[in-house]
Amino acid sequence: MTRLFNDPAAFADEALEGFAAAHRRWVRPVTGGVVRAAATPAGQVAVVIGGGSGHYPAFSGLVGRGLAHGAAVGNVFASPSAQQIRSVARAAHGGAGVLLMYGNYAGDVLHFGQAAERLAADGVEARTYAVADDISSAAPDEAAKRRGIAGDLPVFKAAAAAAEQGRSLDEVLRVAERAGARTRSFGIAFSGCTLPGSDHPLFTVPEARMAVGLGIHGEPGIGEEALPTADDAARLLVETLLKELSEDVAAPDGQRAAVVLNGLGSVKYEELFVVYRKVAELLGEAGVEIVDPEVGELVTSFDMAGVSLTLTWLDEGLEELWRAPADTPAHRKGALGAPEPEDDDRAPAEEDRDTAVPPASDASREAAGSVLAALDAVAGIVEAHVEELGRIDAVAGDGDHGIGMRRGSTAARSAAAEARERGAGAGTVLHRAADAWADRAGGTSGALWGTILRSLGTALGDRDAPAAPRVAEGVTEASAAVRRLGGAEVGDKTMVDVLVPFADALTAATAEGVPLAEAWGRAADAAADAAAATARLLPRKGRARPHAEKSLGTPDAGAHSLALITRAVHGALLNHH
């Protein structure tokens, strides 16, 4: 378990601060993460990677010459927000565009995609690429749904080395795509990981058993087997990967491969070497020539006891990029010339938001008080149920939903209070709350709740008192925006299963002329029924999808939290009626 921390909510920020202080030769801190200590050379594509904290040396430890130009770092097991990613990318930009790279998780896909759109609006050309190497997380015919684990390293390395060669943004993206198409990973675990401040792991493995096909966020494996010997573990890893690669990636006899044997946190280096000796033997027997293997901790999961094996089938071009020199805090290879001078005088990355408060009518400023009361109620109900939400999420996911909702709702309440104190109207208060929720929570729920609050804020505006039909319009737009952004529909076992009927019920009631508090109450009843009904569904989206059967009988965590929130807001509306 994690023993050394202060406030668990501050763990990610404090860890990043300490990392940057310890590695000034390579990196400097910027809002949202770190960038290289020296500026990106003019005309060179900047490769910006990122993901949640808790996986060191991914992602900040891979920033330096020959590898990433910057890393956006989110909260523990939560993607960085679009605001953080944009900030890091702007700081790393050298004038030739930015390639944003990350593991294929819903929250990362949403936030990095939004960041690319914001960068384009800034005049910075940006592309995105999600690594999807974990063969246990989806079948070969659904490879685009696979999550990214330790295969991040060879794919990031290929793209970054191509950027160092001066290739164009589109060429660097094509290299990433080629490396990703040839990279596969598979893992096993013997115990789960424990987040800072928690007294129990996200999942457990029975004594003398191992979980097969684990996820790096504590997602349970897809099955269990008897605890193997080191040689048996190596055989399982190698044979599983070779079977898929031989069927999925055309490779000549005598194939050459980059090999990464990754420790997930508690498996020590000596144990990894014992496993690797057999991995090397088995690959040799299969006619695979190993090129510059990596054995160690490359993508971890706090104190998880487990290992993963990654193979990347190399062609001549990819081998050159894999062998290229690199100098970062956690990954060094070959020899580079003298380091470029650190550039401590560079201006910090520009903040994303305008802090000025737009003018508002008296009616809207009065309504902002009701909005703040509602956000107080949201933060309160989340705090009261944070453990329950984590427990529900851990059934088939990674167990961090409660933590993320606490971070987001608390930040939203604080930002809203500050905005109202400065005389903001209802719309601006909601917009500031939306940005704060997305920034602080990260992950899929952070992006979606930011979208919900922003849609409501846009509908209410800062000029008029928010009438019930206007509120219903905002909720309806929020429902549509969440479906557009996340790609989920009713029946997928997500928050959409609650948001849609809630919006429909609120719209129907307000159309009848029912006052807002009463209409919201009716809609909250519909939300509660819909949330309970998700227990009968199998998930078709998100991290729970590979463990669909495990979630039967348990409601979706996002749906349940939304239903709780609608009820809490109803109470606030009654008190401010």
Q: In sequence order, what are the residues at sequence separation of 6 or more whose Cβ sits closer than 8 angstroms to the Cβ of residue 258? A: 154, 291, 292, 293, 294, 310, 311, 312, 314, 318, 319, 322
- Given a cut of 70, is residue 547 above it in pLDDT? no
C-alpha 79/C-alpha 105 separation (Å) is 8
- Given a cut of 90, is residue 568 above it in pLDDT? yes
Expressed in angstroms, the distance from the first to the final Cα of the chain is 47
pLDDT digits (tens, 9 = 90+) for 422-476: 999 999 999 999 999 998 888 888 999 999 999 999 999 999 888 999 999 999 9
Catalytic position from the list 69, 217, 401, 431: 217
Q: Which of 115-129, 254-268, 305-319, 388-402 has the lowest mean pLDDT?
A: 388-402
User: What is the pLDDT, as a whole number, of residue 289?
Assistant: 96
What value does the mean pLDDT take over residues 473-482?
Answer: 95
- Given a cut of 70, is residue 76 above it in pLDDT? yes
Which residue is it, tokens 């094996």?
309
∠ CA 71-72-76, nearest 5°, is: 115
C-alpha 203/C-alpha 410 separation (Å) is 27
The pTM assigned to this predicted structure is: 0.83
User: What is the pLDDT, as a whole number, of residue 406?
Assistant: 92
Kindly report the length of the chain: 577
At residue 57, φ and ψ (nearest 5 deg) are -80, -10
Q: Facing residues of 50 across strands?
A: 72, 102
C-alpha 523/C-alpha 498 separation (Å) is 10
pLDDT digits (tens, 9 = 90+) for 506-518: 999 999 999 999 9
User: What is the pLDDT, as a whole number, of residue 342?
Assistant: 56
- Given a cut of 50, is residue 349 above it in pLDDT? no
C-alpha 333/C-alpha 260 separation (Å) is 14
- Say if CB 342 and CB 540 are below 8 A apart: no
DSSP string of 150-217?
Answer: TTHHHHHHHHHHHHHTT--HHHHHHHHHHHHHTEEEEEEEEE----TT-SS-SS---TTEEEES--TT
| Distances in whole angstroms, Cα of residue 531 to Cα of each of 362, 497, 508, 562, 566 | 37, 7, 19, 8, 11
C-alpha 362/C-alpha 448 separation (Å) is 30
Which residue is it, tokens 């952004």?
485
C-alpha 329/C-alpha 125 separation (Å) is 28
What value does the mean pLDDT take over residues 279-307?
Answer: 95
- Say if CB 159 and CB 146 are below 8 A apart: no
Whether 217 is a known active-site residue: answer yes
- Given a cut of 80, is residue 9 above it in pLDDT? no
User: What is the pLDDT, as a whole number, of residue 62?
Assistant: 98
Token pair recorded at residue 216: 């790096």
